[in-house]
A and B are shown apart, each in its own frame.
Chain A
Amino acid sequence: AQRVTQPEKLLSVFKGAPVELKCNYSYSGSPELFWYVQYSRQRLQLLLRHISRESIKGFTADLNKGETSFHLKKPFAQEEDSAMYYCALSRPPNSGYALNFGKGTSLLVTP
């Protein structure tokens, strides 16, 4: 069975501080992992995906297969980063690209 765990429901940091949102997964095959973000009153949108190894809005995430983790990091948090962050796992193409979401972490960046 596949599972995505985000252990923190709420994470509060000061502006300029580093932030790390944790995500662990369990899946026996080769997963594809994503971070989706939902800003206040906006729709869910893709932040980044592990396969493209990109940095978006200063966020990065590295897939660690040994620790089965895909933590989201940013060295200097900004107030506009306050949002709900969801880690999600997708199985290989023949699964219809269904996303299995974690419960989400609410990030609050305070001045």
Chain B
Amino acid sequence: EPEVTQTPSHQVTQMGQEVILRCVPISNHLYFYWYRQILGQKVEFLVSFYNNEISEKSEIFDDQFSVERPDGSNFTLKIRSTKLEDSAMYFCASSEDRLWSPEAFFGQGTRLTVV
């Protein structure tokens, strides 16, 4: 069964450094997403991406964040200058292009620790 895959599973970085989290969505999906979950808090939407552009982003997704689909398979989230509060589990997801209620398929997540 096709799955969304994320790498790495755990990344430790120093405050102020740039990080890139990588995702390979399911191949025939057209919508891609990033969510994050700070420890003990709820899963929060960051951004959705469709047709090579951002379709929606949350207030969390400020200028420090960017997304890219550099080739036909990868979908990346870049954090330009990490802060301690960026420490969280980051989930990538993808879904088909449907008019109603597409199922979002989630990756296993990347645990980002900023020290």
Contact = CB atoms under 8 A, between A and B. Distances in A.
Interface of A: 32, 34, 43-46, 49, 51-52, 86, 90, 93, 95-104
Contacts, number: 61
Given A49-B101, A93-B100, A96-B31, A43 B106 contact: yes
B27 to A, nearest CB: 17
Contact of A44 (B41, B45, B101, B106): B106
A1 to B, nearest CB: 11
Interface of B: 3-4, 31, 33, 35, 41-45, 48, 50, 55-56, 58, 91, 93, 95, 99-109
A97 B95 contact: yes
Nearest to B43: A101
